[in-house]
Structure 1
Amino acid sequence: MRNGDIIYGRNPVIEAIRSGKEIEKIYVSKTAGGNISKIIGMAKEAGIVVSTADSDTLKRLAQTPNHQGVVAVGALYKYFDVTDILNYAEEKKEKPFLLILDEITDPHNMGAIIRSAEAFGVHGVIIPKRRSAGINATVVKASAGAVEYIKVAKVSNINSTIRDLKEKGLWIIGTDAKAEKSFEELDYDFPLALVIGSEGKGISRLVLENCDFVIKIPMKGKINSLNASVAASILMYNILSKRQGKA
């Protein structure tokens, strides 16, 4: 059964996963048995986050006690394909400028980054299906509505996506506090994707190894790291500024 973006009941949730419907999260009962394990397996294979919940939470989400121990929350946002983003850049006759967010799990940071991305001319944002915030109500609010004007793609594997982008002629720029090159040293007058990592871990090792350039934001204070959204904003503004200077 469905209540807006909420799907509940075992068979409806199974069919929703099979059909490829965008599902943000699936909640399952802590005590449910039977084919709940099948649902969990299907969800994980599809890259959908699964959490356990008590009966009261499931009842509140489904707005009925007849949830059969499982409730799926549909995605608030219809995601685009990476190809859509590249086509958009081509339509604008601009060199592609993409943003890849590697494990940004804080929705407030995600929203703030998307807001800046829209302001600084980014053609689209790429996020992973797993270990990442999705486009939920908090992200929409934090973006001040920018999600309505920028294309966001959700991919199964960031490294595979990076390889595909390289084959299409894009250069991948990573960020790391230990990098030798300052962000000001590049001119950015080429098709690119900028990778921003999480505050706690930064860019994951494999993703960093797949970057063509690794840059840093030099700092003089005692605090040697920036909020992810602040760092992203500085870098995106610099890319836009350098590109406009080439005109």
Structure 2
Amino acid sequence: MSNRGESQDGGRQNRALRGRAGRMKNGRGSGRASSGIVRLWGRHAVEAALKNPDRHHRKLWATREGVETLEGELPSDFPIEWAQSADLARLVARDAPHQGLVLECEALEDIFLADVLDGDPSRPVVVLDQVTDPHNVGAIMRSAAAFNACAIVTQDRHAPPESGTLAKSASGALEVLPWVRVVNLARALEEVADAGYWRIGLDGEAESTLAQALPAGPVALVLGAEGDGLRHNIVQHCDAVARLPISEAMESLNVSNAAAIALYAAATRETL
């Protein structure tokens, strides 16, 4: 399904090379606005961040009970400030379940789209079009990591930043799943196609089901925000649109639930 002809493939390869060269020239290929400092909380998010060799840690505020829940031991020189649970509550979002652990660290380094597309083609790519709720994005990350996706791709301007809320919802997936932030999502989808991926946009009004639309080869799953769905320009950059075969009793699914089902379908399909 993804064979588009030799002349077309050659043109796409040339466009891809030009695009990658341009990104490497200005050094901002992922489109992330700034590196910044983030605070992560909760056992899974903090533990995953502590185990991530690419994460630069600054300080851990913790209760002794919270540290006891962590797997392994922290280095003896790790900067820890012991605190009471009520003190930690003042460092995080209101009513956030910090579980006795708040880690201040630097945001993860930028990741280039070309880097993740050069990996295992059997692993799907998840592309989110203006999904702005950090709880949804975090939950989608968790499913994407569970079903062996190679990356999640979002647009910088219309996606949540890296945060404690997102990391808590991702339950550790933020540290293991590459997150590519791009300036222009349509151009990113062109690059995804250049790499040989079949781009499927999820749309509840589509005629084909996802099972019918899934190819045997590399696939990119494209999901839009709840309510608005995929923008017209993003649909135009998909090779197919498909729906999940849900009951007529329900109008739609939460975008994170839809992503989990789509990822399961991609993981269990017959591949080449």
Do they fold alike, i.e. is TM over 0.5? Answer: yes
Contact persistence 1:187–1:239 (CA under 8 A): yes
> Distance in 1 between the 2:223 and 2:143 partners?
13
Q: Residue in 2 aligned with 1:88? A: 119
1:142 and 2:173 matched? no
Matched, 1:126 2:137: no
TM-score by length of 2: 0.60
- 1:212 is matched by which residue type in structure 2? D
Post-superposition shift, 1:188? 3.0
Gaps of 5+ in 2: 1-25, 37-90, 92-104
> 1:171 and 2:182 equivalent?
no
1:206 aligns with 2:237: no
Superposed counterparts of 1:38-117, under 5 Å: 76-89=107-120, 94-117=121-144
Pairwise CA distance, 1:170? 1.6
Bigger relative contact order (CA 8 A; separation at least 6): 2
After superposition, the C-alpha distances for 1:92-130 in whole angstroms (9 at most, x for unaligned) are xx4351110110100000000000000001001101011
Give the letter aligned to residue 240 of structure 1.
A
Are residues 1:159 and 2:182 paired? no
For residues 24 and 227 of structure 1, what CA distance do their matches in structure 2 show? Answer: 30
Question: 8 Å contact 1:79–1:151 — kept in the other structure?
Answer: no
What is the aligned partner in structure 1 of residue 262 from structure 2?
Answer: 235
Percentage of pairs with the same residue: 30
Counterparts of 1:75 and 1:157, CA distance in 2: 25
| 3-state DSSP of counterpart to 2:152 | strand
Q: Does the aligned pair in 1 maintain the 2:123–2:148 contact within 8 Å?
A: no
- Whether the 8 Å contact between 2:147 and 2:264 is mirrored in structure 1 is yes
Aligned length: 178
The 3-state SS of whatever aligns with 1:181 is coil
Give the number of the structure whose residues are more often strand, by fraction: 1
Query: Is the CA contact (8 Å cut-off) linking 2:33 and 2:156 kept in structure 1?
Result: no
Task: Indicate conservation of the 8 Å contact 1:22/1:78, yes or no.
Answer: no
* Cα contact 2:117–2:195 (8 A) shared by 1: no
For residues 19 and 217 of structure 1, what CA distance do their matches in structure 2 show?
Answer: 39
TM-score (ref. length: structure 1): 0.66
Measure the CA separation in 1 of the matches of 2:134 and 2:170. Answer: 10
| In the alignment, structure 1 residue 222 sits paired with structure 2 residue 249 | yes
How far the C-alpha of 1:135 sits from its partner, in A, is 2.0
Task: Select between 74-83 and 162-171 the one with higher mean Cα deviation.
Answer: 74-83
Q: Output one character per residue of 1:28-70: Cα deviation in whole Å (capped at 9) or x when no partner.
A: xxxxxxxxxxxxxxxxxxxxxxxxxxxxxxxxx9xxxxxxxxx
Letter in 1 for 2:139: A
What amino acid is the match of 1:131? H
Q: Could you tell me how far apart the structure 2 residues matched to 1:172 and 1:111 are?
A: 22
Q: 1:127 to 1:140 in 2, by over 3 A?
A: same
Q: Deviations over 1:128-154 (max 9, x none)?
A: 011111221111110001111110100
**Structure 1: gaps spanning 5 or more residues:** 1-17, 26-60, 62-73
Describe the SS at the equivalent of 1:88: coil
Counterpart of 1:204, as a letter, is: R
Root mean square deviation of aligned Cα: 2.5
| Structure 1 stretches of at least 4 aligned residues deviating more than 3 Å after TM superposition | 18-22
